[in-house]
Amino acid sequence: MTDLSLFGVDPWWLVVAKSLVIFAFLVLTTLVLILAERKIMARMQMRIGPNRVGPKGLLQTVADGIKLGLKEGITPTGVDRPVYLLAPILATVPAFMAFAVIPFGPVVSVFGQHTPLQLTDLPVAVLYILAVTSVGVYGIVLAGWASGSTYPLLGGIRSSAQVISYEISMGLVFAAVFLQAGTMSTSGIVDAQSGLWYVVLLLPSFLIYAVSMVGETNRAPFDLPEAEGELVGGFHTEYSSLRFAMFMLAEYINMVTVSSLLTTLFLGGWRAPWPLSLWDGANTGWWPVLWFVVKVWAVLFVFVWLRSTLPRLRYDQFMALGWKILIPVSVVWVMIVASIRLLHTEGALPETATLIVVGLVVTVTLFGYLRARSSRRATADRGTPPRTPPDEPGGFPVPPMPVPAARATHKEVGDG
């Protein structure tokens, strides 16, 4: 069992200080991330990014925040006003709450008070994160419904379908981690990775979670709830000023949260990477905070990289990826992990080596299947004629066109 006796005993001023530090970290990370995203995307796409406001454009995010704060907040006619005003709050508050159980570092001394660098921990801390982030989607769904407009409603429905689809595979990933670590607390999972990180032991779980977290946060190439080519702006089409800014804040804070959770579950949390871990003081004091932040920013860079590189998926492709590939693979992998642990308990198999080998086999098999499926689809597309009549298999279901009434002839008009 994980020792949670260090939590819940901090004095009130230390709890307030930790809360303020977490709030400041999330807000400042969001400000820097928006600027870094625009700069990195500009560099990847060979164009000029923000370079006007401040030295080299470093104050662009601050200017955007001031602009949104000073803009007029417009409430469209016909909205459900109480729900319309509540939705941005409901989307933003859970994003902050989820970070309460993320460990930043080990036990340190703060003004003579020994305390872990974590606001709190629970025996079911990871389930708490899953539950709180699920509440945040209610803000998106209610924003789409309360706007009284078609496109926001479609965006809200899409977001709810995404969360349902990808939280199943994410929950199964968590189950594999729980089996291996023997605990659901975040601090206990970090302690269990003192020898070998779970990105090595549970490689399929790491890859499935990496895909699921992008779909969970509505980020490209899975940003279907706010697809501007189809839904104008998606669920926040009818929002402006600070209400719109709150949705953007929630999105970026959720990115930081899922990146921190990925770091905690698979990248050793605040533990130093090799070869820095060979230094005796690498995992003591305040140094682990640096390792944690570097890992989180590495994951956030991948978010930006994906947005700059990949086109948006079609909705049917997105749903097929979740239900036909990620969920079945997650179920099979959880059964494999449980079987290996049982055989190891009975002394039949070495656990670490077996997990690494089987994980590599599952990963290679999955990538091989996806590659073969992509090749079959490309071959079928090359062999398909460019246009298929609607009444034939594979044709686009075009509704029947109305038959125009016969025009009256000049003779008929003259006779009339």
Q: Smallest Cα–Cα separation from 119: which of 21, 254, 29?
A: 21
How does DSSP assign 318-330, residue by residue? HHHIIIIIIHHHH
pLDDT digits 0-9 by tens, 21-45: 999 999 999 999 999 999 999 999 8
Helix (H) or strand (E) holding 89: helix 81-97
Given this model, what pLDDT does residue 135 score?
A: 86
d(CA 415, CA 405): 19
- By CB neighbour count within 10 A (0-12 exposed, 13-18 middle, 19+ buried), where does 162 fall? buried
Strand partners, 107: 116
| Interacting residues of 62 by C-beta distance below 8 A, sequence separation 6+ | 31, 53, 54
What tokens were used for 82? 């109480």
Residue 217 has pLDDT above 90, yes or no: no
Most confident range, picked from 182-191, 339-348, 382-391: 182-191
Please give the average per-residue pLDDT across 238-262, as a whole number: 90
User: Pick the residue with more confidence: 297 or 68?
Assistant: 297
Which amino acid appears at position 334 of this protein?
A: V
Q: What is the mean pLDDT of the chain?
A: 85
Please give the average per-residue pLDDT across 91-98, as a whole number: 90
E strands in 51-139: 105-110, 113-117
Q: Which residue has the tokens 């709450």?
A: 97
Given this model, what pLDDT does residue 415 score?
A: 47
Which amino acid appears at position 169 of this protein?
A: S
Which amino acid appears at position 346 of this protein?
A: E
Given this model, what pLDDT does residue 412 score?
A: 47
Which amino acid appears at position 107 of this protein?
A: V
Q: In terms of C-beta distances under 8 Å and separation of at least 24 residues, what long-range contacts does 311-319 make, across chains too? A: 311/221, 312/220, 312/221, 312/222, 312/223, 312/224, 312/227, 312/229, 313/221, 313/222, 313/224, 315/158, 315/224, 318/162, 318/215, 318/222, 318/224, 319/161, 319/165
Which amino acid appears at position 17 of this protein?
A: A
pLDDT digits 0-9 by tens, 304-359: 999 888 888 888 888 888 888 899 999 999 999 999 998 988 888 888 889 999 99
Confidence of residue 387 (pLDDT cuts 50, 70, 90): low
What tokens were used for 271? 């533990």
Q: Which residue has the tokens 């947005």?
A: 307
Residue 391 has pLDDT above 80, yes or no: no
What tokens were used for 376? 């079959």
Given this model, what pLDDT does residue 392 score?
A: 63
Given this model, what pLDDT does residue 241 score?
A: 86
Please give the average per-residue pLDDT across 84-91, as a whole number: 89
**CA-based radius of gyration for the chain:** 26
Residue 399 has pLDDT above 70, yes or no: no
pLDDT digits 0-9 by tens, 140-181: 888 888 888 888 888 888 888 888 888 888 889 999 999 999
Please give the average per-residue pLDDT across 255-273, as a whole number: 92
- The mean-pLDDT minimum among 285-299, 316-330, 377-391 falls in 377-391
Cα 85 to chain centroid, rounded: 25
122: left (phi over 0), alpha (psi -120 to 50) or beta: beta
Residue 383 has pLDDT above 60, yes or no: no
Q: Do residues 105 and 92 lie in contact, with contact meaning Cβ atoms separated by under 8 Å?
A: no
Confidence of residue 128 (pLDDT cuts 50, 70, 90): very high
Q: Smallest Cα–Cα separation from 185: which of 133, 128, 132, 135?
A: 128
Given this model, what pLDDT does residue 413 score?
A: 46
Given this model, what pLDDT does residue 19 score?
A: 93
- The mean-pLDDT minimum among 188-197, 326-335, 372-381 falls in 372-381
Given this model, what pLDDT does residue 39 score?
A: 92
Residue 416 has pLDDT above 50, yes or no: no
Given this model, what pLDDT does residue 56 score?
A: 86
| Interacting residues of 298 by C-beta distance below 8 A, sequence separation 6+ | none
What tokens were used for 373? 């499926």
Task: Name the phi and psi angles at 386, rounded to 5.
Answer: -60, -35
In the chain, the N- to C-terminal Cα span, in Å, equals: 97
Residue 224 has pLDDT above 80, yes or no: no
d(CA 38, CA 247): 18
What tokens were used for 93? 């508050």
Which amino acid appears at position 210 of this protein?
A: A
Residue 401 has pLDDT above 70, yes or no: no
Residue 189 has pLDDT above 90, yes or no: yes
d(CA 81, CA 84): 5
Strand partners, 114: 109
Q: Do residues 188 and 271 lie in contact, with contact meaning Cβ atoms separated by under 8 Å?
A: no
What tokens were used for 120? 């709190």
Q: Which residue has the tokens 């709030």?
A: 23
Confidence of residue 402 (pLDDT cuts 50, 70, 90): low
Q: Smallest Cα–Cα separation from 209: which of 173, 160, 254, 168?
A: 173
